[in-house]
Amino acid sequence: MTTALDVLTDRVRVVQRPRSGAALEDLEDLVAGVDLDAPLGDTTAALREASRLYLEHAVWFHEPGYVAHLNCPVAVPALAADLLASAVNTSVDTWDQSTTATLMERRLVAWTAQRAGLGPAADGVFTSGGTQSNLQALLLAREEALAALPGGALPPGARLRVLATDQGHFSVAKGARLLGLGDGAVVTVGTDARHRMDPAALRAAVLRTRAAGDVVAAVVATAGTTDLGAVDPLAALADVCGELGVRLHVDAAYGCGLLVSRRRRHLLDGVERADSLTVDFHKSFFQPVASSALLVRDGAALRHATHHAAYLNPRGERVPNQVDRSLQTTRRFDALKLWLTLRTMGADAVGDAFDACIDLAAQVHEDLLADPDVEVHSAPVLSTVLFRYRPAGPGGRVPAATADLLVGAVRDRLFDEGEAVVARTVVGGRPWLKLTLLNPATTREDVRAVLALVREAGQDLLRGAVPHPAGPARAEREGVPA
């Protein structure tokens, strides 16, 4: 274990960029070159080999040049907790495999539910991530919706529908598909100018769905959309859901850090009226993957995930068995990470760290607005910023189609070189570069350096000095002239 720590710290000390820049083919050769049937017979040698394969070419989220996805550098107490939990190898599915670990997880579920204001009957369970939390939320919604129907079943020809905006996470559609709700089960609700669910559009969509003979299982609002960080107007949506008798799920996989923000908690106003809530501690709480939870206002709803096995959690057992609440059986003690983080740093420090990321996004937005060679999508709400390189030339800005093409090409070139990793997405039918800022130690100067790399790559690509990495194939895929 000590050697592992040495190997890790030796590597971290020399890391200076988010990734090595090695090409896929070279890394394929490197990994394929290991003979798994010829053990090295020595942990130190195996660690050094793993370091050459893995650590040397890992993507490092703590590097300020990493500004791509919703990955965070990890709180060090959480890392220490992971060591303990893995060493003991606790499984929190039943009391007889976990004892205090179950009680600690349940304290954190209650703590989070209380931060959200979900009320005295709230309950929940840790999950592997937002995808699983959303799937379970939809499972509960499906079962609750069916139970509320006469005879507990849909009338002939009727279907269950889930309502979300076009900015909702894809795991909602995937969950609906896994639950057998059928193609088109997710009905798109209109948004306002800031890409937030429009309460009037929600009301109309519920009424339209019902008029067509279908049943609304749940509305999925998002508190922090993955691309734009948009926070749906939760209180106004809860009003509509309350009035029309529809279940409200809030996906706060990204925005959950606001629960502990001392300056922006109000952005989540209304979350206390959610029927269920997804929180990803491994995003805005700076926890190592995986650390996530599903919370519900009425703990009784979790019974839809319960199955009693004679050998594991027999009916009537009077001890807390978390498997009764979970889609998983054997499950890591991922709550220990959050526990140790709260006991070391405290919730305010976590919230301050997320606030620092949001403040940085506002500064980056200012810098981008002042740059005549970029287009900016919109003012950030949380910590993502969307922009594209579109420089002014003698005859005005380069054509939009060229700027479209540059997005993917710039992103690929940066990734290939390894100095910076940025993301790309499509919003409003156009490609954009995306910066996701989730490192509280990253400075405005750090991001300026990334923007300088974007400019340099864009200029080179426009000059044709660097061949378009994906050539006409990408152009065709993205429907723009090469």
Ligand X SMILES: *Cc1c(COP(=O)(O)O)cnc(C)c1O
Give residues in contact with ligand X (CB under 6 A).
70, 129-131, 134, 169, 171, 222, 226, 251, 253-254, 280, 292
In whole angstroms, the minimum distance from the beta carbon of 71 to ligand X comes to 10
In whole angstroms, the minimum distance from the beta carbon of 425 to ligand X comes to 12
Token pair recorded at residue 338: 């959050």
In whole angstroms, the minimum distance from the beta carbon of 171 to ligand X comes to 5
Distance of CA 225 to the CA centre of its chain: 9
In whole angstroms, the minimum distance from the beta carbon of 130 to ligand X comes to 2
Residue closer to ligand X by CB (options 70, 340) is 70
Residue closer to ligand X by CB (options 254, 389) is 254
Residue closer to ligand X by CB (options 95, 354) is 354
In whole angstroms, the minimum distance from the beta carbon of 79 to ligand X comes to 18
Residue closer to ligand X by CB (options 258, 409) is 258
Residue closer to ligand X by CB (options 254, 285) is 254
In whole angstroms, the minimum distance from the beta carbon of 190 to ligand X comes to 19
> Element (H or E) spanning 435, and its range?
strand 430-436
Output b/e per residue, 186-204; b: 16+ Cβ within 10 A. Answer: bbebebeeebbbbbebbbe
Distance of CA 415 to the CA centre of its chain: 21
Annotate 27-48 with DSSP letters as a single string: HHHHHHTS-TTS--S-HHHHHH
Residue closer to ligand X by CB (options 251, 324) is 251
CA distance 58 to 418: 11
Residue closer to ligand X by CB (options 112, 292) is 292
Q: From 272, 339, 326, 324, select the one nearest 294 (Cα to Cα).
A: 326
Instruction: Kindly provide the residue ranges of all beta strands, DSSP E only, lying in 170-237, ordered along the sequence.
Output: 186-188, 215-222
The span from the first CA to the last CA of the chain, in angstroms, equals 52
Q: Are strands 66-67 and 392-393 parallel, antiparallel or unpaired?
A: unpaired
Report yes or no: 334 and 133 within 8 Å, Cβ to Cβ.
no
In whole angstroms, the minimum distance from the beta carbon of 402 to ligand X comes to 30
Token pair recorded at residue 459: 């200029």
> Element (H or E) spanning 116, and its range?
helix 100-116
Q: How many CA atoms lie within 13 A of 370 on its CB side?
A: 8
Token look-up 């800022």 returns: 437
Residue closer to ligand X by CB (options 334, 373) is 334
Q: Closest residue (Cβ) to ligand X?
A: 130
In whole angstroms, the minimum distance from the beta carbon of 222 to ligand X comes to 5
CA distance 189 to 100: 44
In whole angstroms, the minimum distance from the beta carbon of 197 to ligand X comes to 13
In whole angstroms, the minimum distance from the beta carbon of 40 to ligand X comes to 34
Residue closer to ligand X by CB (options 169, 325) is 169
Residue closer to ligand X by CB (options 130, 418) is 130
Output b/e per residue, 417-454; b: 16+ Cβ within 10 A. Answer: ebbbbbbbbebeebbbbbbbbbbbebeeebbeebbebb
